[in-house]
Amino acid sequence: MIGWILLGILLLFLAVLVIRALRFTPKPQRQTEDSQIVFDQDAAVAALQKLVQCKTISYNDHTQEDDAEFQKLTRLLPELYPDVFRVCSFLQLPDRGLLLRWKGKSSEKPSVMMSHYDVVPVQEEMWEKPPFAGIIEDGFLWGRGTLDTKVTLNAALFSANQLIAEGFVPENDVYFAFSGGEEVNGKGAVHIVNYFKKQGIAPELVLDEGGAVVENVFPGVSVPGGMIGIAEKGMMNVLYTVRSGGGHASAPPPKTPITTLASVCRKVIDHPFKMDLNFPVRQMYDTLGRHSTFLYRLIFANLWCFKPVLDLICRMNGKEMNALVRTTTAFTQAEGSSARNVIPAQAHLVSNMRLSPATTVEGAEAFLKKVVNDPQVELTVLESCPPSPISETDCDSYYKVADAVAATWKGCIVTPYIMVQCSDSRHYRDISRHVYRFSAMDLTAEERKTIHGNNERIRLEVIAKSVEFYLRILGKC
Ligand SMILES: [Zn+2]
């Protein structure tokens, strides 16, 4: 009898799981406009080519930078986008901040289109083509910064230039805000935000680099996802120091600073932060999960029971899948004795941590101290930035971005997500609740690897798609 009851309960339980999975189907898509967008694609490519030919490399050691190249790019802008500079006011702020204001019919709900025009250094000998020549070959424009992110700077200004030439005036003011030091945490964007604060400007929409249209972003989903970052994780660097009396390596004590730090490393890795199914991730699961295969729909429709399984899968997979759902710790630097046969008087480890929305800087520090639990280990937070606030998704500003993505890349599934890297847009936390991170391009997995890597290049049709996206969104600002 009891056996039958148990069997009945089990069958009921399975039925609930299956029914929930069967009902976990794609949500109706928002209507996208079908209008044709016409512009001179060759001119858009030529303008980007000119930007790429400026060697605007940022270095942590600013003395290595070639200021003339940054000035060359700034001087080039009025030549490439003459109507923008005819109509918009232009402000140069400290630390290579550039700000243009395109006056709309109203100043009430301004938008800010962000980008940065500095790039990371190159290992030139590893490139198949020179990184700053702007070579166009076989449908690609080669060069550092083509993807990250001169493409969006070009697309935003090229589109505005075309719209102005056509006599279009936006409903609301549009600002173009570019920084020349994003890659080294420069302060250009900070100066721009301070300017907004002083002027009492609270943007209704901020768009910066971030997600893109990418394939294979979700298990079991073959259609590309249009990933819009509605938040970004925080960052924190932690220094672990252990001191000792030093000594000769020929007669070592049972414990040295290195052995202690090795166990610190082990403890921290063995005690990952708790899974945080934050709002952006839940939204992403609820959008992409519905397009997945039945097996995954079974899991994502029933997270109330499969959360531990998902947690395990994420921890075993690591990488981005795991980074989306928890605070991560990566050990990045280690330093011991300067001689091979000397026990160090002090040794250091550094971990770079990325904080999920549920983790504060103080909370992460307290958690680490508890895990390490060793009075010999000195733990210091070097620099930190809390996770960004989460931007709204059920509002006009989000839909402006989402609709432009859907109309430009037909068939992709547009979804919110959380960006695991930092961007300049984090500085807008105090002045806007509508900060979105989307790099207007579609990228293959191989192309994504060239960002900050070797042989960065862009397909010419992606340059055009980017312009198409900005023509759509600027038309709605
Ligand atoms: Zn970038």
Same domain for 304 and 173: no
Q: Which domain holds residue 378?
A: 234-385
Distance 439 CA to ligand 1 centre (A): 9
Distance 209 CA to ligand 1 centre (A): 6
Same domain for 320 and 272: yes
Same domain for 340 and 358: yes
Q: What is the per-residue pLDDT for 282?
A: 96
Surrounding ion ligand 1 within 5 Å at CB are 148-149, 209
Residue 2 within a domain: no
Domain end: 385, 402, 422, which one?
385
Distance 182 CA to ligand 1 centre (A): 7
Domain end: 385, 400, 427, which one?
385
Check pLDDT > 90 for residue 78: yes
Whole-angstrom distance, CA of residue 324 vs CA of residue 322: 5
Check pLDDT > 80 for residue 340: yes
Whole-angstrom distance, CA of residue 309 vs CA of residue 286: 17
Distance 452 CA to ligand 1 centre (A): 9
Same domain for 249 and 211: no
Distance 117 CA to ligand 1 centre (A): 8
State pLDDT tens for residues 262-320: 999 999 999 999 999 999 999 999 999 999 999 999 999 999 999 999 999 999 989 99
State pLDDT tens for residues 183-241: 999 999 999 999 999 999 999 999 999 999 999 889 899 999 999 999 999 999 999 99
Distance 210 CA to ligand 1 centre (A): 8
CATH of the domain at 242: 3.30.70.360
Q: What is the per-residue pLDDT for 33?
A: 75
Distance 122 CA to ligand 1 centre (A): 15
Distance 187 CA to ligand 1 centre (A): 15
Same domain for 204 and 96: yes
Residue 14 within a domain: no
Check pLDDT > 90 for residue 29: no
Same domain for 255 and 223: no
Domain count, the chain: 2
Check pLDDT > 80 for residue 34: no
Distance 238 CA to ligand 1 centre (A): 24
Burial 425-453 (b: 16+ CB within 10 A, else e): bbbbbebbbbbbbbbbbbbeeebeebbee
Confidence of residue 110 (pLDDT cuts 50, 70, 90): very high
Distance 155 CA to ligand 1 centre (A): 15
Q: What is the per-residue pLDDT for 377?
A: 97
CATH of the domain at 201: 3.40.630.10
Domain end: 385, 411, 430, which one?
385
Check pLDDT > 90 for residue 456: yes
Same domain for 248 and 179: no
Same domain for 380 and 242: yes
What's the whole-model pTM score? 0.94
Same domain for 211 and 62: yes
